[in-house]
Structures are given as structure tokens and as C-alpha cells.
Amino acid sequence: MLAEALEHLVRGIVDSPEDVSVRAREGRRGETLEVRVHPEDLGRVIGRSGRTAKALRTVVSALASGENVRVDVVDTDRRR
């Protein structure tokens, strides 16, 4: 449910909503939601000084109702 809600929010922010994907992973510290967007939309999702990303994390934390949930915006353009 959290992944779908986050995906819906991010799709409303970006210019290429078809390239948005959110993947949920379970880890030692709780659930992690990885957000992947088109490289040109990365700045739009992060926002100025990270304000948009912080707001998305706040909304997801409120929806999680006490569970440990992390939101990571993944840079798909970065080479490994």
C-alpha cells in the first residue's frame, strides 16, 4: 500500500510519469522504498535543498503509522 501511494505522489510531480517505479524491499531496519525516475526528473523529485524528498518521506512516514519505512531516491544515471 505504501509503495502504491508513494508512486502516485511521485507520478504527479515528474514530467515522465511512465518512467516512475517504486520497489519495496525488506531489510534489517524495516521496509525500504526505492524510487526510480527518468534522469531528467531526478532534480524535480529531490527538490531544492531536498525539500520535496523530505516532504515525500514525511507523508510516507505518516501513512506507515509507526512502522520503520525508509524512502530512497535512486540515481539511475550513476555508474557502478
pLDDT the model gives residue 41: 93
pLDDT the model gives residue 79: 47
Record the pTM: 0.86
The pLDDT profile of the chain, 80 residues, written as one tens digit per residue, is: 899 999 999 999 999 999 999 999 998 888 999 999 999 999 999 999 999 999 999 999 999 988 889 999 988 765 44
pLDDT the model gives residue 77: 64
Bridge partners (DSSP) listed for residue 54 = none
